Every structure is written in C-alpha cells, then in structure tokens.
C-alpha cells in the first residue's frame, strides 16, 4: 500500500502543475484584464494587428504564472513526501502553516511587494515608457508584466498551503484580494491590513501550537 501511494505521488507532478496553473489563470484573469485591454488599445494604434499582438502579450503573462505553477507543484510534491504535510496532501501541518502566514504577512510590508504593486496599478505608464514593437516585444512585455504580478501575489497564493490548496473558497477570496489590491484606490491600505491579518494568523497558529 505504501509503495502504491508513493508511486501515485511520483506520478502526480503533471496533475498538480495543471491544477495550480488552472487556479492561477482563473484567479488572476480579472486582475490581468485591464492590462490586456490597455495593451490591445496600444497595439492597435501602433501596429494594426492588435488581436495577434494581444494574444502574444497574454501568452507571455501566462508563461510567468506557469513558472509559478511549476514551482508550487514541485513544492507540494516535495511536501507530500515529508512530515510537513497532512495526510490529505494539500495542507501543511500547523507549525508550517504558522511560518507561511508569518512570511506572507512580512512580505506584504516588503519594498519588493510595494514596487510590484505599484507596477501592477499603472498599465498606461508602463506601456508609455517600456513599449517594445513586434511579436517578440509583445511576448516579452507579457512575461515582464507577469513576473511583476507573480512578485506581487506569490506570497498571497502560497497561503493556500496553510489553508488547503484545494480550498476553492480560499482561492476565490485570494483572487478577489489580488484584484482589489491592484485596481482600487484603497489597494495600499488593503495591502497593509492584509499583512497585519496574516501576521496575526501566524502568531495565533504559534500560540495554539505552544498551548497544545
């Protein structure tokens, strides 16, 4: 039985990657839409082939999140082989969950998080200053923006390991939070509030572990 379970885990990497990529694509679609729309308008004015160029831009964006999905799937498969993940295979043990929440909370206040969030909130400014013509240019800009988006949201998405990677309610909530952070006037306030909430959650986990 143990050998069979081990084989299942070994063969699950592709499935996990598809699962993570599908979740990331669905969750980030509303956040990416203003960028795709802005690129579509710019590419139409510049090239006259806006549909093809916009598709290439979106593909570059998705490539960045595919890289994240590969990393998340690799991490989950690794955790499934250790004592750090519960038998369900999609949520870590309490002390690991505490660490994840604390890291996510600290990252919300990090300069890199602020820089990535600033980028994600200003598509017009980015296209006006960093435009690259041609098919390769569209792909490169898509990847470049996607990396900023991953930089903005990777810690948010990593909290799924603490709550459950298959928890659709949590993943939906994270998608909404990412959208509000990047597109609303109060995104900076939400960034700080969310960081504080994650820190409190992490400390509560530590308290429960200590008490038990």
- How confident is the model over 116-155, as pLDDT tens digits? 999 999 998 898 888 988 888 999 999 999 999 999 999 9
- Distance between CA atoms of residues 15 and 92, nearest Å: 19
Owning domain of residue 199: 2-211
- The answer to whether the CB of 187 falls within 8 A of the CB of 181 is yes
| 72 has pLDDT over 90 | yes
- Distance between CA atoms of residues 26 and 199, nearest Å: 27
Q: Using CA of residue 56, residue 57, residue 61, residue 67, what is the dihedral sign?
A: positive
Q: Specify the pLDDT at position 165.
A: 84
The tally of domains found in the chain comes to 1
Phi, psi at 18, each rounded to 5°: -60, -40
- Distance between CA atoms of residues 174 and 3, nearest Å: 36
Alpha helices in the chain (DSSP H): 2-10, 13-46, 50-80, 94-107, 111-120, 123-130, 134-158, 160-163, 168-183, 187-211
Q: Specify the pLDDT at position 8.
A: 42
DSSP-derived letter for residue 38 is: H
- The answer to whether the CB of 86 falls within 8 A of the CB of 172 is no
Q: Compute the average pLDDT of residues 70-74.
A: 95
- What secondary structure does DSSP assign to 63-86, as a single string? HHHHHHHHHHHHHHHHHHTSTTB-
Report pLDDT digits (tens) over 167-183. Answer: 889 999 999 999 999 99
């Amino acid at each position: 039985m143990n050998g069979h379970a081990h084989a299942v885990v070994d063969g699950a990497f592709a499935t996990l990657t598809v699962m993570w990529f599908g979740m990331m694509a669905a969750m980030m679609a509303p956040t990416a839409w203003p960028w795709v729309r802005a690129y579509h308008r710019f590419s139409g004015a510049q090239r006259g082939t806006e549909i093809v160029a916009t598709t290439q831009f979106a593909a570059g964006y998705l490539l960045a999140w595919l890289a994240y999905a590969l990393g998340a799937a690799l991490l989950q498969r690794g955790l499934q082989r250790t004592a750090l993940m519960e038998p369900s295979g999609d949520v870590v043990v309490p002390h690991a969950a505490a660490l994840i929440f604390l890291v996510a909370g600290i990252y919300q206040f990090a300069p890199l998080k602020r820089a990535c969030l600033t980028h994600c909130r200003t598509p017009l400014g980015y296209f006006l200053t960093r435009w690259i013509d041609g098919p390769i240019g569209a792909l490169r800009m898509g990847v470049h923006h996607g990396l900023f988006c991953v930089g903005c949201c990777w810690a948010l998405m990593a909290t799924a390991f603490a709550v459950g990677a298959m928890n659709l309610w949590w993943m939906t909530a994270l998608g909404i939070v990412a959208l509000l952070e990047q597109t609303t006037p109060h995104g900076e306030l939400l960034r700080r509030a969310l960081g504080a909430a994650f820190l409190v959650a992490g400390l509560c986990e530590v308290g429960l572990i200590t008490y038990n």
